[in-house]
Structure 1
Amino acid sequence: MNDFYLKKIIIHQFSPNDTDLHLSDREISLTPRLDDYFRKKLSKIFSDEAKRGQFAPDSPFLSHLDDDLLASSVAISQLWQEEFIGSEDQKVNDLVFIEFERQGQSHWAFLRLALKEQLAHIGQEDQPIKLSQNNLPSAAQAPDEALVINRQSLAYYLIEKRLKHNGSFANYFSENLLQIEPQQSVKKSIKVLEQTAQKIADQFHQDDFSFQSKMKSTLYDQLEEKQELSPEELANQLFEDNLTARLSFVDQVKEKIPDPIKLTDIDHSRQIKKLENQKLSLSNGIELIVPNKVYQDAEMVEFIQHEDGTYSILIKNIQDIRNK
């Protein structure tokens, strides 16, 4: 997933004090530490938070992108400035343009990094702790906004934030600058699937702990085993005995997610990690964390519902118990 070969990097800067661009006229020298920093930044774009899509060959934005990285970076920085200037709470931003290869294919990236003020120990004077300006954010932190384009396929990956822009919150980056309608991120799509499933289950009086657990384990299995998340397959597993519920689920999901959610080109390990355990809170104060593979095995865990509506949980075949 992190097979990046960085070729060129150019960094311009935007200052809110004079709302002006400070344009560089050259590439930066890539030291091993900088190479590592920007490769980590790029890896955050190929994540479950990325919106995805594909540019049309005649896209107005692509007309500003050519083989001259410096000229392209200046033109796009100026276009970005025209749109960003209307946003509120502006900070100093580095505008980073990267030409790189990933898995043998040429890519182009634009990263906006909001710089920070931080306390730093400077010298041994009476007041050695001082406020330092224009510090880059941590390498582990996703860019504030970012666009990566595969130069061969024109597929793109987008990280953006809704900013208060000209008086109202908007995705100015995709709507105004790029003029595209990206697919929802995997993270947001999974949330839509969960919320829609719970809504349908509630309509058909199925929304209890066992359904929510089944939904979690079903999503986990698809994320681990499949190359995509399919609303039809989820419907078949979640509402297998109710045709009306299945059709209603698929119809409602496709209003927001018209196509299957592809997983092959991004890192979705955070979503797998989030779903890998069932976390149960019982009315008597006991809390259980049960791995999905154990939860789904009737030879290891059994849930028994009694006539009075109460439950018993039978945990079987325990070889060792430790106190943590």
Structure 2
Amino acid sequence: MDIYIKEAVIHQFSPEDTELILADKVLTITPKIEEYLRKKIERSYSDEAKTGQLGAESPFLDYLSDDLLASSVSIANLWKEEFSVSENLKTNDLVFVRFEKNGVEHFAFLRISLRENLVHVGAESDSPLKLTQNNLPSAGSAPDEALILNLQNYKYHLIEKRIKYNGTFLNYFSDNVLQDNPVISAKKSIKAVEQTAQKIAENFNQADFQFQSKIKSAIFNHLEEDNALSPEKLANQLFDDNLTARLTFVDELKDIIPERVSFEEIDSSRQLKKFENQKLSLSNGIELIVPTTIYEDAESVEFIQNDNGTYSILIKNIEDIKSK
């Protein structure tokens, strides 16, 4: 991912008086700061990010201008009005970044919750450790919330956390700050696919271990080949011999995920790793881990259902066996 940090501004939100401590100039970008911001932005392109595209008439776009400092102040104040009603307030750094990704201008808003940490600050043998305030988390951790906006096509990635207000949990950022309705994250989309497929299979008496493995194989193959998930394609693969099941599967998913869940710009490695192996736990205590590509190969693994209802597993064409 080719990211070039151009400008950054940091404001701070204080929970004590729900006020903003506003910066009056842009940040001096040192190599360490550049690395920190770049890693935070990279972590925002995750499978936990919601996605969407703002229309040209989106009110949020009115807050953006060529002056990052002025834009950041306007958005920070807008954010504060919506966030400060939360019942669980902490000190937060509000980081605004203008950057290029693969040559295209982007805008980023990062909310980073600050921590208290013990540090070794003195030589006194009895009390060398001190509690320090307002510590930034490590560069490798994801921001608490993030908006990454492509300024060319207005597509965005959004990591948001709900706030609790009057006993109700609110998607305050997408509903009130961004004023848009993003698509649920790729991670939640995959979970919805799994749960819906399992439910349909149970209704049609197909929910055995082989079907569960079939779901994993289908998701793995679609991610690897298309970097996307299509409910229609999955339905055809999972319920190829049952038209009613196929139609029911697609119908139940349409209100949760769009026609096609794209992993464009999203790191799918974590999901691929999750589905790359089939893990089987047998009633006799044996546990098997079989790579998905081999699991589907009848020349390598065969599952046999015996007349008495038990199963036999035949593993074929093994050239070498090692003990680990």
Q: TM-score range by the shorter chain?
A: over 0.9
After superposition, the C-alpha distances for 1:144-171 in whole angstroms (9 at most, x for unaligned) are 1110111110111100012213431111
Alignment partner, residue 47 of structure 2:
48
Any conservation in 1 of the 2:50–2:183 contact (CA below 8 Å)?
yes
Alignment partner, residue 67 of structure 1:
66
CA shift at 1:292, angstroms? 0.4
How far apart are the structure 2 equivalents of 1:34 and 1:18?
28
Alignment partner, residue 140 of structure 1:
140
Identity of aligned residues (%): 62
After superposition, the C-alpha distances for 1:245-284 in whole angstroms (9 at most, x for unaligned) are 0010011111211321112221111100100000111111
Alignment partner, residue 250 of structure 1:
250
Alignment partner, residue 160 of structure 2:
160
Any conservation in 2 of the 1:45–1:157 contact (CA below 8 Å)?
yes
How far apart are the structure 2 equivalents of 1:162 and 1:284?
44
Any conservation in 1 of the 2:121–2:129 contact (CA below 8 Å)?
yes
Q: Give 4+ residue runs of structure 1 displaced > 2 Å after superposition.
A: none
How far apart are the structure 1 equivalents of 2:147 and 2:233?
32
Any conservation in 2 of the 1:161–1:171 contact (CA below 8 Å)?
yes
Equivalent positions of 1:99-114 (< 5 A) are: 99-114=98-113
Any conservation in 1 of the 2:111–2:146 contact (CA below 8 Å)?
yes
Structure 2 unmatched runs, 5+: none
Alignment partner, residue 323 of structure 1:
323
Note if 1:230 corresponds to 2:268: no
Equivalent positions of 1:180-259 (< 5 A) are: 180-259=180-259
Any conservation in 2 of the 1:50–1:158 contact (CA below 8 Å)?
yes
Q: Comparing 170-179 with 239-248, which one deviates more in the overlay?
A: 170-179
Any conservation in 2 of the 1:88–1:165 contact (CA below 8 Å)?
yes
Alignment partner, residue 150 of structure 1:
150
Helix, strand or coil at the partner of 1:266: coil
Alignment partner, residue 27 of structure 2:
28
CA shift at 1:118, angstroms? 1.1
Alignment partner, residue 290 of structure 1:
290
Equivalent positions of 1:260-279 (< 5 A) are: 260-279=260-279
Helix, strand or coil at the partner of 2:245: helix
Q: Comparing 160-169 with 116-125, which one deviates more in the overlay?
A: 160-169
How far apart are the structure 2 equivalents of 1:208 and 1:175?
41
How far apart are the structure 1 equivalents of 2:323 and 2:119?
43
After superposition, the C-alpha distances for 1:69-106 in whole angstroms (9 at most, x for unaligned) are 00000011001110111001211100000000001100
After superposition, the C-alpha distances for 1:162-203 in whole angstroms (9 at most, x for unaligned) are 221343111111111111100011101001111100000000
Helix, strand or coil at the partner of 1:248: helix
Structure 1 unmatched runs, 5+: none
Helix, strand or coil at the partner of 2:112: strand
How far apart are the structure 2 equivalents of 1:255 and 1:88?
31
Alignment partner, residue 89 of structure 1:
88
Any conservation in 1 of the 2:278–2:291 contact (CA below 8 Å)?
yes
Q: Comparing 314-323 with 72-81, which one deviates more in the overlay?
A: 314-323
CA shift at 1:303, angstroms? 0.6
CA shift at 1:31, angstroms? 1.3
How far apart are the structure 2 equivalents of 1:82 and 1:262?
33
Helix, strand or coil at the partner of 1:18: coil
How far apart are the structure 2 equivalents of 1:166 and 1:179?
21
Any conservation in 2 of the 1:86–1:166 contact (CA below 8 Å)?
no
Q: Comparing 156-165 with 98-107, which one deviates more in the overlay?
A: 156-165
Helix, strand or coil at the partner of 2:94: strand
Note if 1:281 corresponds to 2:281: yes
How far apart are the structure 2 equivalents of 1:294 and 1:283?
22
Any conservation in 2 of the 1:165–1:172 contact (CA below 8 Å)?
no
Corresponding pairs, count: 323
Alignment partner, residue 37 of structure 2:
38
In structure 1, give the amino acid aligned to 2:151. Answer: R
Could you tell me the TM-score, scaled by structure 1's length? 0.98
Note if 1:122 corresponds to 2:144: no
CA shift at 1:206, angstroms? 0.2
Any conservation in 1 of the 2:183–2:258 contact (CA below 8 Å)?
no
Alignment partner, residue 11 of structure 2:
12
In structure 1, give the amino acid aligned to 2:285. Answer: G
Any conservation in 1 of the 2:118–2:130 contact (CA below 8 Å)?
yes
Could you tell me the TM-score, scaled by structure 2's length? 0.98
CA shift at 1:227, angstroms? 3.8
Any conservation in 2 of the 1:120–1:131 contact (CA below 8 Å)?
yes
Alignment partner, residue 304 of structure 1:
304
How far apart are the structure 1 equivalents of 2:268 and 2:188?
12
How far apart are the structure 1 equivalents of 2:195 and 2:33?
41
Any conservation in 1 of the 2:83–2:163 contact (CA below 8 Å)?
no
How far apart are the structure 1 equivalents of 2:197 and 2:167?
35
How far apart are the structure 2 equivalents of 1:264 and 1:13?
32
Helix, strand or coil at the partner of 1:44: helix
